[in-house]
Amino acid sequence: MAKLFQHGTLAMLVDGLFGGTLAVSDLLKHGDFGIGTAEGLNGELIILDGAPYQALADGTIRVIGDDELLPFANVNSADFEGRAVLSDIEMKDVDATLAKELSYQNTFVAIKISGTFRTVQTRVVKQQERPYPTLSETASKQQVFNAEDVRGTVVGYYTPDLFHGAGVAGMHLHFIDDQHEFGGHLLDFKADQVKLSWQLLDGLDLNLPIQDAEFMAHEASDAEKIQQSISESE
Amino acid sequence: MAKLFQHGTLAMLVDGLFGGTLAVSDLLKHGDFGIGTAEGLNGELIILDGAPYQALADGTIRVIGDDELLPFANVNSADFEGRAVLSDIEMKDVDATLAKELSYQNTFVAIKISGTFRTVQTRVVKQQERPYPTLSETASKQQVFNAEDVRGTVVGYYTPDLFHGAGVAGMHLHFIDDQHEFGGHLLDFKADQVKLSWQLLDGLDLNLPIQDAEFMAHEASDAEKIQQSISESE
């Protein structure tokens, strides 16, 4: 069995703790499949077959360097155990479709969807400078991208509601196309026929940056404020 | 660095998922210091120097067997990094006293307090039979114990507010005396002079019983109900 490795928390991002505290090379020791963001909330990461791609707000995608630092990321060692073909599917139906296959609501699940998508909409957060704003203050700076008839892969996780704030509850999915030219945080997709793969994870391996003085001294927002800020950012 | 290993969640106990899903011997692979409860909410565990003690509701303490199953426990590999002498201290002051030594509020901390205590009050939950009640329904069955001038050890953890429901936010402390005759979940203590030791942990290694069909099929209470039930049980 494998756990979901997570560096940082959503609550830290909500409060504007965007400083990088884990090197890409260290993240990749914990898995070859995943998502995240880079220092300063610089774009959306997609880790696929061990390669870490960074979708930037200017619409380009690069391979991020091994020594670049990340404030937040999720990875696992991919070993998909279940597969299903999804026909005439859109993003909002993924939860219910997976629920027909198995009970997964109480644990973490790695999700991969691959094939040709009729439409894909992503958003990419924009790099921030210190002093960092809060996450909800960055929402107006996000770039939204659309593609049609694109071959690619959805990469992400399901997190149980109980862990919202620590992680991102529900489905948290990123996208990258096969040409590595289009990607980001997935807002929506429609597809005629794509392949869904899943892997149940038996826990959370959460890593906190306790060597980071800013994190350790930070006065965290209370749970209610975090919840509200997350709603405003979505 | 070390993480806090946790098997199960507080939310599962709130909903009455008291079935054992991890053997004591498997728990001890993850640490030699910790706390927990046994199958059926049978008493309070104290793991000290690798020995797993079970304080029972009849007031006795035994060493729990390697193959007995647990629904919930926390352990870590003890390697205390800080120490302070606490003079004229009571339980409610432990948080603030530790805060004078270091910023710890955003991460998990192992806490050990040892010496002679003027007064100690513990409570011990009572074994439940299937069909299990909810945690708050068991509150009236708890036994409360008092001791005076007792040599012993407080064993437990600080968990950040962000993780309440997944774990027990704030200080979650158990007690065992040096004779292994008195112990339980710590409700209160007063002491003239005792030794506090702490160990900052850099994350949470959370283990979920995904092989357990009851857990996987369970319809979890929402966050608000969990919060309310926890308040009623305390």
Residue A228: what pLDDT? Answer: 75
| CB-based contact, B187 to chain A, within 8 Å | no
- Residues of B whose CB is below 8 A from A203: 205-208
Q: Which domain holds residue A134?
A: 4-233
- Reported as a pLDDT band with limits 50, 70 and 90, residue B221 is confident
pLDDT in tens, B196-217: 999 999 999 999 999 999 999 9
B162 vs A223: CB contact, 8 Å cut-off? yes
Return the sign of the alpha-carbon dihedral for residues A158, A159, A160, A164: negative
The answer to whether residue B23 neighbours chain A at the CB level (below 8 Å) is no
pLDDT band for B164, please (50, 70, 90 cuts): very high
Copy the structure tokens of residue B100: 């004078």
pLDDT in tens, chain A (234 residues): 799 999 999 999 999 999 999 999 999 999 999 999 999 999 999 999 999 999 999 999 999 999 999 999 999 999 999 999 999 999 999 999 999 999 999 999 999 999 999 999 999 999 999 999 999 999 888 999 999 999 999 999 999 999 999 999 999 999 999 999 999 999 999 999 999 999 999 999 999 999 999 999 999 887 777 777 777 666
**Residues on chain A touching B105 (C-beta within 8 angstroms):** 219-220
In angstroms, the separation between the Cα of residue B178 and the nearest Cα of chain A is 33
Find, among A61, A66, A38, the residue nearest to A50 by Cα.
A66
Burial degree of A211 (CB within 10 A; 0-12, 13-18, 19+): exposed
What is the C-alpha radius of gyration for chain A, rounded to an integer number of angstroms? Answer: 17
Contacts with B206 from chain A: Cβ below 8 Å: 3, 203-206
Indicate the residue of A11, A106, A162 with minimum beta-carbon distance to B215: A106
Evaluate if residue B233 carries a pLDDT over 70. no
User: In this structure, are residues A174 and A44 in contact, taking their beta carbons and an 8 Å threshold?
Assistant: yes
Residues of B in contact with A3 (CB under 8 A): 205-207
Do A161 and B103 count as a contact with CB atoms less than 8 A apart?
A: no
> How far from chain centre, in Å, is Cα B71?
12
Q: From CA B70, how far away is CA B23, in angstroms rounded?
A: 6
Q: Has residue B228 got a pLDDT over 90?
A: no
Residue in chain A lying closest to B10 (CA): A162
pLDDT for res B234: 60
pLDDT > 90: percent of chain B: 92
Locate tokens 């979940």: which residue? Answer: B185
Q: Residues B77-110: pLDDT tens digits?
A: 999 999 999 999 999 999 999 999 999 999 999 9
Distances (CA, A) of B86 to B114, B154, B193: 10, 13, 6
Confidence band of B227 (pLDDT split at 50, 70, 90): confident
Region of B139 please: left (phi>0), alpha (psi -120 to 50) or beta: alpha
Closest Cβ opposite residue B208 in set A11, A202, A223: A202
Q: How far is A44 from A125, CA to CA, in rounded Å?
A: 7
Q: What is the pLDDT of residue B222?
A: 77
CA–CA gap between residue A67 and residue A14 (Å, rounded): 25
Q: What is the pLDDT of residue B139?
A: 87
Mean predicted lDDT score pLDDT of chain B: 95
Q: Is A225 on the interface with B (CB under 8 A)?
A: no
d(CA B191, CA A9): 37
Q: Above pLDDT 70, what percent of chain B?
A: 99
Helix (H, G, I), strand (E, B) or coil at A60: coil
DSSP output for chain B: ---EEEES-HHHHHTT-----EEHHHHGGG-SEEEEE-TTT-SEEEEETTEEEEE-TTS-EEEPPTT-EESEEEEE-----EEEEEEEEEGGGHHHHHHHH---TTSEEEEEEEEEEEEEEEEE-----SSP--TGGGGGG-EEEEEEEEEEEEEEEEE-GGGBTTB--EEEEEEEETTSSSEEEEEEEEEEEEEEEEEEE-EEEEE--TT-HHHHH--PPPHHHHHHHHHHH-
pLDDT at B12 over 80: yes
Q: How many residues does chain A have?
A: 234
The CATH number covering residue A129 comes to: 3.30.1330.80
Contact between A182 and A56 under an 8 Å Cβ cutoff? The reply is no
Domain count across chain A: 1
Beta strands in chain A (DSSP E): 4-7, 22-23, 33-37, 44-48, 51-55, 61-63, 69-70, 72-76, 82-90, 108-124, 143-159, 170-177, 183-201, 203-207
